[in-house]
A = this chain, B = another copy of it.
């Protein structure tokens, strides 16, 4: 089964399009976790697993801790593989790295995040063109999410700006969609641009869209679900779940938030 098929299967079984984003801030850990990032994230993982189909690891927050951060990531992935012995039960694990580089180096990033770290999917910045994306597609069982429109206001500088007869992001999607089938490539579309999500959704009905920016960044799940029309999508929520409580009840608070977002997502 491809990652695309596994993701559809998990979503159907659990009736959820919720993806939980893991952005651990060492200075913002709840009481009772003794500054242990791995313990914190595994508690969040356990509490939210019934409601989510995917986890998005934001690498910045691990790199910020240097080798200790990547060691924590190695421990987390090993533990998740152990506790979800069968692939059918393991949620899709996404390396949110937004990497971009020339082919030789892009191949090295692909090895890092689709092999050394055994992620199922990876986010990639498409600015450097087709030959910078292809190394990520060479890992045959992976899903590559290319940035189309990001959730920040600055997206208007280039991605949303007119580039000839249409905005740059439309050119990027049109060009890159020819590189591989919809089972291999998906797109990141920020939740803060629901009308763009709606129009890309109808133009590309079979591609997975990864939609970050829900909750803390202002995106509205109900509006997105309606626009999505039950097509392949991942609605990603990070801070609203991770930091639902900074007290010792953080896992239960995360569970309640995940349950609410799961219901809104389906």
- Listed in ascending order, the chain A residues whose CB lies under 8 Å from chain B are 23, 58, 60-61, 63-71, 73-74, 98-103, 105-106, 108-109, 111-113, 116-117, 125-133, 147, 150-159, 161-164, 168, 171-172, 175, 190, 213, 217
Q: Is the CB–CB distance between B171 and A158 below 8 Å?
A: yes
Which chain B positions have C-beta within 8 A of A131?
A: 152-154
Main secondary structure of the interface of A (DSSP, over half): helix
Q: Is the CB–CB distance between B66 and A127 below 8 Å?
A: no
Q: How many copies does the complex hold?
A: 2
Q: Could you show 26 A-B contacts with beta carbons less than 8 Å apart?
A: A58-B105, A60-B112, A63-B70, A63-B109, A63-B113, A64-B109, A64-B116, A66-B116, A66-B117, A67-B70, A67-B71, A69-B70, A98-B125, A100-B100, A101-B150, A102-B151, A102-B213, A102-B217, A127-B147, A128-B150, A129-B152, A129-B156, A132-B150, A132-B152, A163-B163, A163-B164
**How long is the Cα–Cα vector from A137 to B73 in the complex, in angstroms?**
28
Min CB distance, A236 to chain B, in Å? 12
Which chain B positions have C-beta within 8 A of A155?
A: 128-129
Q: Is the CB–CB distance between A60 and B98 below 8 Å?
A: no
Q: Output the nearest chain B residue to A117 by Cβ-Cβ distance.
A: B66
Which chain B positions have C-beta within 8 A of A162?
A: 164
From B63, B116, B132, B163, contact of A112 by CB (8 A): B63
Min CB distance, A130 to chain B, in Å? 5
Which chain B positions have C-beta within 8 A of A60?
A: 99, 101, 105-106, 108-109, 112
Which chain B positions have C-beta within 8 A of A108?
A: 23, 58, 60-61, 63-64
Which chain B positions have C-beta within 8 A of A65?
A: 116
**How long is the Cα–Cα vector from A154 to B69 in the complex, in angstroms?**
33
Known interface pairs A126-B158, A128-B158, A132-B150; 13 further A-B residue pairs with C-beta atoms within 8 A, sorted by A's residue number: A60-B112, A66-B71, A69-B70, A98-B100, A100-B147, A125-B125, A127-B127, A128-B152, A129-B157, A129-B158, A132-B152, A158-B171, A163-B168
Min CB distance, A169 to chain B, in Å? 10
Min CB distance, A205 to chain B, in Å? 25
Q: Output the nearest chain B residue to A213 by Cβ-Cβ distance.
A: B102
**How long is the Cα–Cα vector from A125 to B154 in the complex, in angstroms?**
13
